[in-house]
Amino acid sequence: MSGLLEEAKALVAGCDRCGTCLTVCPLFKVRDVERSSARGKNALARGLAEGGLEPGPEVRGAVEFCLLCRACTDACPNKVPTDEAMVRVRQHLTDRAGGPTVTYRLVGAALRSRAAVGLGALALGALRRLGLLRLLPSALVPKEFPRKAFLAAFAGPAALGGEAPAATPGAHARVAYFQGCGMKLMFPDAAEATLKLLGGLGEVSAPDNPCCGLPHLAHGMKGTFLELARENIALFEEADVVVTDCASCGGALKHLADHFKDDGAWRDRAAAFSAKVLDLTEFLVRAGYRSPSRGERTFTFHDPCHLARGQGIRRQPRQLLEAAGRFVDMREADTCCGGAGTFHMDHPGTAARILARKASSIEATGAEVVVTACPGCLIQLTRAAEASGGRFKAMHISQVI
């Protein structure tokens, strides 16, 4: 048995097959068969490890069919980390098959290339030439990247109003901005707003960082993930605080240390790095940020999985939004929106059904703007906003506070 399967088996050993997770898994809500649920996935991991199942395309499909949203772990009496087990199994299947599927390899390569990501619109062109455009969210990438239209639609109070007043961040900390690929590629304006917010609080550097590696890790390209991690650790060595406005990057970076536990050369550097990563909302609340003015807009907040369950951050974004306008919480605010990395591309139908549930929760609040803190979620929510026919808009938190 491979070490990875052994690890996966150990991770799910606490699964009592009770079924509590069946009631919370967003995938089970839209496709209620055993394999969708965490119980089903954990059994699958054990089945593979114990030789009761032969790996094949069907098994692969089943382990890919997970949002890695951790709703199950949260509800599970034994806190079984199904998502971590699935990542191990994916890695195992990838290693076995001699590499990830072509699609993931291409996306992985594109995300690795700083140039390709950094050039924004150009990168989109490059991806289009590679025939990868279908992988990008169609709602966000019409024929040409509609920068102007985008700006007009998404201008939040922060963009309209004055500069954020300088507050006192942790006395002269050297703050560095970690820009995720999603933010760079899809939401350059939100990224700009983040920089503006951070700049209002003191000196900020923005090194040209590569991808956090989460997509690679999630799809069984651990080698690439580790390379990227080392690059990032070295790149941010000088910073005291590393702030990111992407929940997924934040979650991944905060956990980098775990992957270097047994690596003598990198263990301490990785731990130091992980310890200084903060989500934007976490940083702003700590730094005592105040909104320049309280607007009349009604906001609701969608908790990214990687923020709420991944990092335990639920209060901070709400606190910031309450200060910036009227805030209404929605039903199932922390239920996955169906984006989940590349999930929405691999399973568009399922993702759409999950999103429809989310959209109805948003509409029920009557909020004008649904705010979130992860580009992955923002892609999905933008889609929902478009489908809502203008009933609400979707924005990144840096654009509205």
Interface contacts to ligand SF4, rule CB under 6 A: 15-21, 25-27, 38-39, 41-42, 66-72, 76, 78, 80, 82-83
Whether 376 contacts 303, CB under 8 Å: no
User: Considering the complex, what minimum distance in angstroms separates the CB of residue 58 from other proteins?
Assistant: 5
Partner touching 67 among other proteins, ligand SF4, none, CB below 5 to 8 Å by kind: ligand SF4
In 3D space, the residue among 261, 251, 263, 259 whose CA is nearest the CA of residue 309 turns out to be 251
Residue placing its CB nearer to ligand SF4 in the complex, 20 or 113 = 20
In this structure, the dihedral spanned by the alpha carbons of residues 391, 362, 380 and 291, taken in order and rounded to 10 degrees, is 90
Partner touching 82 among other proteins, ligand SF4, none, CB below 5 to 8 Å by kind: ligand SF4
Q: How many residues bind other proteins (CB under 8 A)?
A: 31
Site for other proteins in 35-64 (CB under 8 A): 35, 40, 43-44, 46-47, 50-54, 56, 58-59, 61-62
Which two tokens mark 37?
A: 């649920």
d(CA 89, CA 9): 9
Residue placing its CB nearer to other proteins in the complex, 17 or 128 = 17
Of the ranges 72-80, 134-142, 241-249, 340-348, which one interacts with other proteins (CB under 8 A)? 72-80
Residue 98: CB atoms within 10 Å = 6
> 3-state DSSP call for residue 297?
coil
Partner touching 40 among ligand SF4, other proteins, none, CB below 5 to 8 Å by kind: other proteins
Which pairs from 150-154 meet CB under 8 Å and 24+ separation? Answer: 150/189, 151/189, 153/393, 154/189, 154/190, 154/393, 154/395, 154/399
Residue 318's identity, in one-letter code, is R
User: Considering the complex, what minimum distance in angstroms separates the CB of residue 352 from other proteins?
Assistant: 17
d(CA 354, CA 37): 14
* 33 lies in the site for other proteins, by CB under 8 A: yes
The conformation of residue 117, written as its DSSP 8-state character, comes to H
Residue placing its CB nearer to ligand SF4 in the complex, 26 or 213 = 26
* 32 lies in the site for other proteins, by CB under 8 A: yes
The residue ranges that bind other proteins (CB under 8 A) are 13-14, 16-20, 22-23, 32-35, 40, 43-44, 46-47, 50-54, 56, 58-59, 61-62, 76-78
